[in-house]
Copies of this chain bind each other. A is one copy, B any other.
Amino acid sequence: MNQNIVKMEYAVRGILPIRAMELARELKQGVKKPFDSIIFANIGDPHAMGQQPTTFFRQVVACCDYPELMNYNVFPNDVKRRASKLLSGIGGGGIGSYSDSQGPLKLREDVAQSISDGKHDCNPDDIFLCAGATDGIKSVLHLIDFGQGKDRTGVLTPIPQYPLYSATLTEMNLVQIKYYLDEDNAWAINVDSVHSIVQKAREKCTPRALVVINPGNPTGQCFSRRNVEDIVRYCSKEGLIIIADEVYQENIYAKGMQFHSFRKVANDIGLGPNDITIASFYSASKGYMGECGYRAGFMELYGLDPVVKNQFRKHRTANLCSSNAGQVIMNCIVNPPKPGDESYELFAKERENVLMSLTDKASKVSEAFNSIKGVKCNRIDGAMYAFPSITLPKRAIEAANSAKMAPDTFFCLDFLENTGICVVPGSGFGQREGTYHFRTTILPDTEKMQRFLVAFEDFYKKFVAKYTD
């Protein structure tokens, strides 16, 4: 079998969640545990953690599934209007037909319009609808796969990173070139240090792209405008494609913080499609909507050579199309109800509730971690995660080594067994040698999150005491 598949690792669904599922089964079977239920804080799945879907989105997709519903007095008129418009935009025989592989033009136009803001234009021809950002990112990485030996494609990925990147690079036999985010500086990117890494990497491969995740996963940072400018300038100069994972752009919590799109910042500093190539990714799974299960997303391929874009388009056709139900959801996201529409008020309330609750938890979580001696957590600017560093006693590290486990895996597993709380060890995302972290989502509801923080403090103190002479 394919040895690249054997080599690939995907920690978010790795040993911790597998054990957590087993524990859940054991609980169901009546096995006694020091906890009553599992808190799955390992995966960014808002609805699984109790977040409610956005009514407007679901009404529109239900109406597209079964257009007969338009004849009943069940849905507001703007829902019916939107469903009719989408069914005609998808073309063919409705939602059950294949749609255009790139995404139906009408739907891409809506995406483009949501990106255009007067100062920055977006061309619907640059937009590709896809089955979640994962699908888009994998197919773009596949596109730039190239050459052998020193000509083998290298891709710069942040450390820590979302393991989709390392897993996909391994799977495709591309070279992962690691650059470190600066934990002491709010997880910013240091362009000078990226440059020396690129220089060194050129001895063994050809760096062709740089991945940025902003807001950050697992780090929860939001890059400053200045930082984004620096990166864009650097990549333009070095001819590196920017793979901009911007799926958390709706999730900004820190006061005064703002999301800066890599593509728009590039334009603002005078870089056009001939100066830089930026692939940006967006997803229905994150933001305030959290519609993971529909597998919907889009990418904007800005500045891509038209010949290459045509090849990419051809390549996408062999996948036929992404789910139309997902494309419907995506359309509602980029073009939500406007003030005056029948569904607006409810929509705005639902959206605000989710974002306010996340904002509230974001500050509480980092504060709680920072109040514990030995734990340090950067401010959660955005996304859905905290990535605190934890100090582990020397004897705990030895015990982990004896158990042939990364020390943070050893810690997280023990935490899970004692509290029923599932987080992901930092080693699954990468971290500076000798440091230890874990990633937790901030998605469990306020009460569960509180239970989490209390249990963590208690467990961590006992763990440290146990392994300290």
Q: Which residues of A contact B (CB under 8 A)?
A: 1-3, 5-6, 8, 10, 13, 43, 45-51, 53, 55, 58-59, 61-63, 65-66, 69, 72, 74, 90-99, 101, 131-132, 134-135, 142-146, 163-164, 167-168, 171, 285, 290-295, 308, 311-312, 314-315, 317-326
Contact = CB atoms under 8 A, between A and B. Distances in A.
Contacts of A323: 131, 293-295, 323, 325-326
B98 A311 contact: no
A93 B47 contact: yes
Given A2-B142, A2-B145, 11 more contacts: A1-B146, A13-B101, A47-B96, A49-B93, A58-B65, A61-B65, A96-B290, A97-B293, A98-B285, A294-B325, A323-B323
Nearest to A90: B293
14 contacts: A1-B143, A10-B317, A13-B318, A47-B96, A47-B97, A62-B63, A69-B74, A94-B293, A95-B294, A98-B285, A131-B295, A131-B323, A132-B320, A293-B321
A50 to B, nearest CB: 7
Q: Which 4 pairs of residues, A with B, have the shortest CB-CB distance?
A: A47-B93, A48-B92, A293-B324, A47-B96
Contacts of A132: 320
Identical subunits present: 2
A321 B92 CA distance: 26
Query: Interface majority SS on A: helix, strand, loop or mixed?
Result: helix
Nearest to A93: B47
Contacts of A164: 318
Nearest to A284: B96
Contacts of A91: 48
Contact of A97 (B74, B163, B292): B292
A304 B274 CA distance: 49
Nearest to A2: B145
A90 to B, nearest CB: 8
Given A164-B318, A314-B10, A43 B98 contact: yes
Contacts of A10: 314, 317-318
A47, A97, A168, A319 interface centre (most CB from chain B within 10 Å): A97
